[in-house]
Amino acid sequence: MKPGTDRTRQMGAMSPALTLPLLLVVGLVTTACLSWRGLKPPETPVSTEPVVVKSDAEWRKLLTPMQYTVLREKGTERAFTGEYTDTTTLGTYSCAGCGAELFLSDAKFHSGCGWPSFFQPLDDARLTQIVDESHGMTRTEVTCRRCGGHLGHVFDDGPPPTHLRFCINSASIKLLPSEKR
């Protein structure tokens, strides 16, 4: 029997004319259900930053061994050993891999966790959040959207107004001091 005949349609093949309307209905029902339960569908911020792509050899040449371990291999520095853990200098923290500006010092707070902590990024579109189920736990990994470098993790135990704690490795960021507040 030839494809496209009535028998093929009876066996489960869907007409292309029905596919789009069906997808729209499923999307509307999903959004309505989330709305009814007080939930919002996840929003994906859009970044206009150009993506940085380098070979492994280029990253190794550009970064210190600790920066490479953290940014490219998803490692972490030991607690309370990072350069910016207790820093109160005013400025902007940028990605050590690509220079994308990520956090302002005004959003930095002392959480006592052993790593620099921020309650909000400079712009949500500059970060990517990924479910991380490594080491027998579920966390949310934070990476630089521009270069894909591992920065740290975000938790929901931070201070107001966001109640978030972006726990970031010092090795993954660089402080660009500013003289003004």
Kindly name the residue from 95, 144, 147, 167 that is annotated as catalytic.
Answer: 167
For the question of residue 167 being annotated catalytic, the response is yes
Question: Mind listing the pLDDT tens digit for each residue in 42-84?
Answer: 454 555 667 989 999 999 999 999 999 999 999 999 999 999 9
Name the fold adopted by 56-177. Answer: 2.170.150
pLDDT level of residue 179 (50, 70, 90 thresholds): confident
- Other beta carbons within 10 angstroms of residue 84's beta carbon come to 21
Going from the C-alpha of 154 to that of each of 40, 130, 143, 165, the distances in angstroms are: 20, 10, 10, 5
Distance between CA 37 and CA 162 in Å, rounded?
A: 22
Task: Sort 129 into a burial class: Cβ within 10 Å, 0-12 / 13-18 / 19+.
Answer: middle
Question: Mind listing the pLDDT tens digit for each residue in 141-155?
Answer: 999 999 999 999 999
Coil, strand or helix at 174:
strand
Question: Mind listing the pLDDT tens digit for each residue in 92-120?
Answer: 999 999 999 999 999 999 999 999 999 99
- Other beta carbons within 10 angstroms of residue 10's beta carbon come to 8
Distance between CA 1 and CA 3 in Å, rounded?
A: 7
Pairwise pLDDT comparison (37 vs 61), residue with the higher score: 61
3-state secondary structure 118-169: ECCCCCHHHEEEEEECHHHCCEEEEEECCCCCEEEEEECCCCCCCCCEEEEC
